[in-house]
C-alpha cells in the first residue's frame, strides 16, 4: 500500500474534485459519513455520551459532519469547537451552519481552558482538532486542551491523524499530541504511524477509503510503501515438481565466536527453514560439535582458530553469504572480513558484528560489496551513518548511505524499514515479543535462505522481513510476548509460508 505525504494528499483532493466534478464539501460529507458508519456499526444506537472536539480547519469540518450524522441518528452527542483562530475553512463554516439547521443546536465554542467540559470515563471522545494541515505545534490553551483530553480515561478516536502529529515530518512537542486509542485515517496511512518517535501515538489505525481519484494515486510516486500480505503474496516463487536441492542454492553462514556459537545455530537453521537447498556454516573450531549435534542438516566448516573467525575459506561456490551474527570485532576477524569482501563476488547479507567491523574500520567500509543487504538495528545503524536528530533525519541519512554505497539497508525495529536509495519499504508484521536476543540472527538466516533460492536482494529483504514478523506473530498467538524466544520464530517459518495463501475460515453453511 502506498503511503502519501500531506502535500500529495492535498493534491489528490484537488485532482478528485476537478476530475469527478464533485466539491470539497461533498468529499468531506463522504469522509464524515464513512466515520459515522464505522461508529454506528459498532455502537448500534447505544446512548453513551460522545464528545466531539473540532478545530476550525477541514479536520474540524469532518468532526462536524460526524457529529451531525450521529445526532440525526439519535445518538447522545456534544460538539465543541476549539476556536483558536478566526481563519476557519470554508467547508468548516458550511458544516457549522448545517449542524445548526439540522440539529437546532450550536456546537459549544471554546476560547480558553475555562471552557473545557466535564468528561466521564465511560464517555467517548472524538478528536477532530487538527488533521494533516497542522503547521506548528499546538500552544497555549489548545495544548492544554490536548493534555486535558489525554488525562481522561475515555476511549479516544482520532479522525485522520491524532491531533498534534505531523503526517510526514518530525514531532516538535510530544506533550501536545492526542494519545488516541484508535485512528481512522483517510485514504492512506501516514508515514508518522510507523516511526518510533511518532508511531507510539497510533497504537491502532484503520484506513478509510474516501474515494480519492484512483488514477492520480496510482500514478503518483509515494513517499513509502507499506508491505503487507497482499504485496508479499506476489513475491512468492512456487517450487517446481521436478526440482532438486541444487536449484535452491547453497547458503554460507559465517557466524559465531566463543560463547556466541548459538548465533550461528539460529542463522543456519533459519536459512534451512526458509528453503535454502544447502546450508554450510563457517564457525570457529569450538563451534564444530555444537552445530553438528544441533542441526544435522547443516554442513560445517571451521576456522583454524578455536575461539574466533580469522580466515574464511571454503571449497564450494556459495550462492550467497550471510555474515556477522556473533563474530565479534577482534582485529583478526576484521582482517578476515576485509579479505572476504574484497575477494568474493557473491551476494552478501551483512548483520550484527560484521556491521560493527565495517563501521569501525574505514578499510573494510571501502570494500563493502555493492548490492549487499545490511540489516542493522538502530544501534548498529548509528555506528554506520552517525547520529541523527529525529526519525526523519535518520531516514534521510540512511537514504544517502544506501545511495552512496549502493546497498540495501534494513533498519530493524517495530516496523522494520528497507531503504533502497530514495525508496522506503515498511514492514507490517512483528510484535514486541520479538525484542529478544537472537531474533535478528534468525532474520539474517531467513534473508540469506531466500537469496540462495534466487529471490533478488530487495524481494528477499522484504519477503524475509515479512515472514520473520508473521512467524513471530504466530508464536505470540500461542505463547504470548514474554515467553517468545528466537528459536520459536524459526519453528513457525513454515506456518508463516502456509499462511500466505490460507483461505479465511468459512462460516458453516446453513442447510
Ligand X SMILES: NC(=O)C1=CN([C@@H]2O[C@H](COP(=O)(O)OP(=O)(O)OC[C@H]3O[C@@H](n4cnc5c(N)ncnc54)[C@H](O)[C@@H]3O)[C@@H](O)[C@H]2O)[C@@H](O)CC1
To ligand ADP, the closest distance from the beta carbon of 39 in angstroms equals 30
Which CB, 164 or 472, lies closer to ligand ADP?
A: 472
Answer yes or no: are the C-beta atoms of 297 and 280 closer than 8 Å. Answer: no
> Crossing angle for the helix pair 6-19 and 24-43, nearest 10 degrees?
110
Count of residues binding ligand X (CB under 6 A)? 33
Answer for which of 3, 35, 79, 134 binds ligand X (CB under 6 A) is 134
**Is 413 a known ligand-binding residue?**
yes
Please provide the size of the chain in residues: 511
Answer for which of 5, 58, 154, 183 binds ligand X (CB under 6 A) is 58
Which CB, 90 or 331, lies closer to ligand X?
A: 90
Q: Which residue has the cell 540489516?
A: 375
To ligand ADP, the closest distance from the beta carbon of 480 in angstroms equals 14
Nearest CA-CA partner of 468 in 427, 502, 436, 501 = 427
**Is 163 a known ligand-binding residue?**
yes
Task: Output the 3-class SS for 321-377.
Answer: EEECCCCCCCHHHHHHHHHHHHHCCCCEEECHHHHHHHHHCHHHHHCCCCCCEECCC
Which CB, 163 or 280, lies closer to K ion?
A: 163
Residue 359 interaction partner, one of ligand ADP, ligand X, K ion, none, beta carbon < 5-8 Å per kind? none
Answer for which of 5, 8, 9, 269 binds ligand X (CB under 6 A) is 9
Q: Residues with Cβ < 8 Å from 431, sequence gap 6 or more?
A: 469, 472, 473, 476, 481, 484
Stretch that binds ligand X, among 51-59, 320-328, 363-371, 470-478 (CB under 6 A): 51-59
To ligand X, the closest distance from the beta carbon of 173 in angstroms equals 9
Nearest CA-CA partner of 180 in 147, 152, 153, 202 = 202
Q: Is 28 in the site for ligand X (CB under 6 A)?
A: yes
State the Cα–Cα distance between residues 375 and 443, nearest whole angstrom.
Answer: 9
**Is 441 a known ligand-binding residue?**
yes
To ligand X, the closest distance from the beta carbon of 123 in angstroms equals 22
Residues lying near K ion in the complex (CB under 5 A) are found at: 127, 158-159, 163
Q: Which three cell numbers stand for residue 357?
A: 567491523
To ligand ADP, the closest distance from the beta carbon of 266 in angstroms equals 8
**Is 468 a known ligand-binding residue?**
no
Residue 158 interaction partner, one of ligand X, K ion, ligand ADP, none, beta carbon < 5-8 Å per kind? K ion
Displacement of CA 501 from its chain's centroid (Å): 22
Q: Residues with Cβ < 8 Å from 84, sequence gap 6 or more?
A: 55, 56, 141, 142
Instruction: Report phi then psi at 207, rounded to 5.
Output: -95, 130
Name the residue with the smallest CB distance to ligand ADP. Answer: 440
**Is 132 a known ligand-binding residue?**
yes
To ligand ADP, the closest distance from the beta carbon of 439 in angstroms equals 4
* String marking each residue 149-168 x if it binds ligand X according to CB under 6 A: ----------xx--------
Q: Is 136 in the site for ligand X (CB under 6 A)?
A: yes
> Crossing angle for the helix pair 457-479 and 493-500, nearest 10 degrees?
110
SS3 at position 433: helix
Q: How many CA atoms lie within 13 A of 238 on its CB side?
A: 5
Strand order across the beta sheet in which 250-254 lies: 2-3, 224-227, 423-427, 417-420, 408-411, 373-374, 348-350, 320-323, 250-254, 278-283, 299-302
Residue 85 interaction partner, one of K ion, ligand ADP, ligand X, none, beta carbon < 5-8 Å per kind? ligand X
**Is 472 a known ligand-binding residue?**
no
State the Cα–Cα distance between residues 326 and 122, nearest whole angstrom.
Answer: 51
Interface with ligand X in residues 75-104 (CB under 6 A): 84-85, 87, 89
Answer for which of 166, 186, 392, 463 binds ligand X (CB under 6 A) is 186
Answer for which of 49, 137, 454, 494 binds ligand X (CB under 6 A) is 137
**Is 416 a known ligand-binding residue?**
yes
Q: Which residue has the cell 498534534?
A: 164
Residues lying near ligand ADP in the complex (CB under 6 A) are found at: 352, 377, 412-414, 416, 430-432, 434-435, 437-441, 443, 468
Name the residue with the smallest CB distance to K ion. Answer: 163
Answer for which of 59, 329, 428, 461 binds ligand X (CB under 6 A) is 59
**Is 115 a known ligand-binding residue?**
no
**Is 414 a known ligand-binding residue?**
yes
Interface with ligand X in residues 416-445 (CB under 6 A): none
CA distances from 328 to 188, 290, 346, 481 (A): 42, 18, 23, 29
Which CB, 29 or 305, lies closer to ligand X?
A: 29
Kindly calculate the radius of gyration of the chain based on its CA atoms and give it in whole angstroms.
27
Q: Is 54 in the site for ligand X (CB under 6 A)?
A: no
State the Cα–Cα distance between residues 56 and 84, nearest whole angstrom.
Answer: 8
Which residues are part of a known binding site for K(+)? 59, 127, 163
Binding-site residue set for (6S)-NADPHX: 58-62, 131-137, 160, 263, 326, 377, 441
Binding site for ligand X (CB under 6 A): 9, 12-13, 27-28, 31, 55, 57-62, 84-85, 87, 89, 130-138, 142, 159-160, 186-187, 210, 212
- Residue numbers in the known binding site for AMP are 412-416, 440
Amino acid at each position: 500500500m502506498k503511503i502519501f505525504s500531506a502535500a500529495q494528499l492535498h493534491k489528490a483532493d484537488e485532482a478528485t474534485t476537478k476530475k469527478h466534478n464533485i466539491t470539497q464539501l461533498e468529499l468531506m460529507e463522504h469522509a464524515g459519513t464513512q466515520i459515522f458508519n464505522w461508529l454506528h456499526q459498532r455502537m448500534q444506537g447505544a446512548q453513551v455520551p460522545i464528545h466531539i472536539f473540532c478545530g476550525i480547519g477541514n479536520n474540524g469540518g469532518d468532526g462536524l459532519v460526524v457529529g451531525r450524522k450521529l445526532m440525526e441518528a439519535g445518538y447522545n452527542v456534544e460538539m465543541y469547537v476549539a476556536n483558536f483562530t478566526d481563519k476557519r475553512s470554508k467547508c468548516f463554516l458550511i458544516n457549522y451552519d448545517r449542524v445548526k439547521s439540522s440539529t437546532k443546536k450550536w456546537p459549544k465554542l471554546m476560547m480558553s481552558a475555562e471552557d473545557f467540559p466535564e468528561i466521564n470515563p465511560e464517555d467517548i471522545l472524538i478528536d477532530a482538532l487538527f488533521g494533516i494541515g497542522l503547521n506548528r505545534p499546538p500552544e497555549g490553551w489548545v495544548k492544554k486542551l490536548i493534555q486535558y483530553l489525554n488525562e481522561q480515561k475515555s476511549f479516544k478516536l482520532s479522525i485522520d491523524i491524532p491531533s498534534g502529529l505531523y503526517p510526514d515530518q518530525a514531532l516538535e512537542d510530544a506533550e501536545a499530541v492526542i494519545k488516541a486509542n484508535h485512528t481512522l485515517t483517510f485514504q492512506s496511512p501516514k508515514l508518522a504511524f510507523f516511526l518510533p518517535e511518532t508511531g507510539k501515538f497510533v497504537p491502532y489505525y484503520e484506513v478509510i477509503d474516501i474515494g480519492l481519484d484512483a488514477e492520480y494515486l496510482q500514478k503518483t510516486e509515494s513517499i513509502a510503501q507499506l508491505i503487507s500480505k497482499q504485496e508479499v503474496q506476489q513475491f512468492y516463487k512456487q517450487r517446481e515438481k521436478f526440482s532438486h536441492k541444487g536449484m535452491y542454492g547453497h547458503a554460507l553462514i559465517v557466524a559465531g565466536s566463543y560463547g556466541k556459537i548459538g548465533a550461528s545455530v539460529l542463522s543456519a537453521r533459519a536459512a534451512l527453514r526458509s528453503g535454502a537447498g544447502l546450508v554450510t556454516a563457517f564457525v570457529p573450531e569450538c563451534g564444530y560439535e555444537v552445530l553438528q549435534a544441533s542441526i544435522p542438516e547443516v554442513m560445517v566448516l571451521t576456522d583454524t582458530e578455536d575461539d574466533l573467525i580469522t580466515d574464511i575459506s571454503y571449497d564450494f561456490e556459495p550462492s550467497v553469504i550471510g555474515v556477522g551474527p556473533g563474530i565479534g570485532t577482534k582485529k583478526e576477524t576484521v582482517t578476515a572480513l576485509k579479505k572476504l569482501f574484497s575477494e568474493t563476488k557473491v551476494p552478501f547479507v551483512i548483520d550484527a558484528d560484521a556491521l560493527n567491523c565495517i563501521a569501525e574500520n574505514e578499510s573494510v567500509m571501502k570494500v563493502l560489496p555493492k548490492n549487499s543487504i545490511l540489516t542493522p538495528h538502530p544501534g548498529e545503524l548509528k555506528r554506520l551513518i552517525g547520529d541523527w536528530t529525529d526519525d526523519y533525519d535518520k531516514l534521510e541519512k540512511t537514504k544517502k548511505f544506501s545511495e552512496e554505497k549502493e546497498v540495501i539497508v534494513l533498519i530493524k525495529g517495530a516496523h522494520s524499514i528497507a531503504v533502497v536509495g530514495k525508496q522506503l519499504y515498511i514492514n507490517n508484521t512483528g510484535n514486541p515479543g520479538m525484542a529478544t536476543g537472537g531474533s535478528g540472527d534468525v532474520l539474517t538466516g531467513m534473508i540469506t535462505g531466500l537469496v540462495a533460492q534466487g529471490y533478488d536482494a530487495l524481494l528477499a529483504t522484504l519477503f524475509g522481513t515479512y515472514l520473520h514478523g508473521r512467524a513471530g506473530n504466530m508464536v505470540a498467538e500461542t505463547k504470548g510476548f514474554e515467553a517468545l524466544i528466537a528459536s520459536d520464530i524459526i519453528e513457525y517459518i513454515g506456518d508463516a509460508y502456509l499462511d500466505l495463501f490460507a483461505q479465511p475460515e468459512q462460516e458453516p453453511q446453513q442447510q
